[in-house]
Amino acid sequence: MELARPQWLANLGAWWEPVVGAAASQVVPEGIDARGRLHVECSSIVWARQARLLGDHWLHRLNARLPDENRFSALVADSSSSVMPQPVLEQWPRLLGEALAGLVRPVGLNDWGQELLTEAVSAQARDEFATRVPDLLTQICELLGAHCTISRIPASDLPSVWVLVASTRRFTDRRAVEDVLMDTWHDATQTFGPEHQLCLMHGAETLVDEVVEDWVASVAEQWPGMPKVATLARQADTNRYGSDAFRLRDEALAEDDATLCLAFAADTEERIRLAGLADRKGIPVRRHIQAGAETVVRALDSSANAVTARTEQGADTVSFRQRLV
């Protein structure tokens, strides 16, 4: 595809870096296509995914800084420099051995093709893989020959536990939300292991979403040595999509590979579109209902049709392991 590169585009310090910050070294503008879309090249598939998630937010801020004639219609993230060489994918079981290859998989390249990124199913597999890295690097260089750009393989990542948070504006019990998040964190740690990061995704709209951000910040401050917890907020871009923005945001959130959806409603009749989308995608939904002054929250697990109750005096939780088997 032919891309236009006007002179002002090269002055990244004036329009790009102030918006994307530290990501500027990993996500670089390449040019503008005939439809007015800004194409960016990313240093890895991880950064490409991040750029796509943040694309609408960046686009809004970029267009606010640019004159009307230079504004973009969309942001397109590419990571062609980080695409895994096909011979490595095809020969992975031979390079690593059938048993370990089933536990550790190559996911892409990082740092403009210099790092081979992998994901291990467990900490034990990750540690075993680390002992094989020197020999693996030698084999990959021999396999790719002069075209090899891979010079290092860092420690394997462990898959994150993705949890979707859906809520309405009428749910106002901060304490109940904090308790549910703490139980979810505990269940995730017990089921998947303490080194797997829990990532909470939400729509950045309700009080519940605000509590999620506050709770994650407090966890990092109070227990810095504990298992990692992170958030991913996807805002509705009303400036760009108008009344469709909330529907499009919810559809995008439901497309992410969540293990569980936590839904918070003020009463049993209240419907949450995001939770409904998650349910239709086969994501287990635990529905928490706020009722009365004493705050009784009932959690309905749609995957198993199991109901548990929470009060201020105690709780009966359903673990990830129970929900997913």
Domain ranges of the chain: 7-80, 86-147, 161-324
CATH class of 161-324: alpha beta
Residue 324 has pLDDT above 60, yes or no: no
Which residues have C-beta within 8 Å of that of residue 44, sequence separation ≥ 6?
Answer: 26, 79, 82, 108, 109, 110, 111, 115, 117
Taking residues 166-187, report their average pLDDT. Answer: 94
Taking residues 301-324, report their average pLDDT. Answer: 39
Span 35-76, pLDDT tens digits: 999 999 998 877 888 898 888 889 999 999 999 999 999 999
Q: What is the pLDDT of residue 181?
A: 96
Span 276-308, pLDDT tens digits: 999 999 999 999 998 654 445 455 555 443 333
Structure tokens, 66:
């640019």
Of 132 and 82, more confident: 132
Taking residues 3-18, report their average pLDDT. Answer: 95
Which residues have C-beta within 8 Å of that of residue 286, sequence separation ≥ 6?
Answer: 260, 261, 262, 263, 299, 300, 301, 302, 318, 323
Q: Calculate what percentage of the chain has a pLDDT beyond 90.
A: 66
What CA dihedral angle connects 253, 183, 230 and 165, to 10 degrees?
Answer: 20
Angle at 208 between CA 203 and CA 210, to 5 degrees: 75
